Amino acid sequence: MIIREMILEDVPQLARIYKQFWNEESSVEIMSKNFVKFHEDGSHLLLSAVENNQLIGSVMGIICGELYGDCKPFMVLENMIVDSRYRNNGVGKALISELEKIASEKNCSQIILVTEADRIEACKFYESAGYNPDTHKGYKKKLNDG
Tell me if 39 is assigned to some domain. Answer: yes
| Residue 19 located in a structural domain | yes
Q: Is residue 140 part of a domain?
A: no
The answer to whether the pTM exceeds 0.75 is yes
Residues in the chain: 146
- Summarised one tens digit per residue, pLDDT across range 29-69 is 999 999 999 999 988 999 999 999 999 999 999 999 999 89
Banded pLDDT at 82 (limits 50, 70, 90): very high
Tell me if 9 is assigned to some domain.
Answer: yes
d(CA 21, CA 50): 18
Question: Quick one: pLDDT at residue 97?
Answer: 97
Q: Which domain covers residue 96, as residue numbers?
A: 2-128
Give me the helix-helix angle, 11-22 and 28-41, nearest 10°: 120
Q: How far apart are the first and last CA of the chain?
A: 33
Q: Is residue 10 within 8 Å of 26, Cβ to Cβ?
A: no
- Residue 49 belongs to some domain of the structure: yes
The reply to whether 134 falls in a domain is no
SS3 track for 40-99: HHCCEEEEEEEECCEEEEEEEEEEECCCCCCCCCEEEEEEEEECHHHCCCCHHHHHHHHH
Residue 69 inside a domain? The answer is yes
Domain count, the chain: 1
Residue 136 domain flag: no
The CATH number that applies at residue 50 is 3.40.630.30
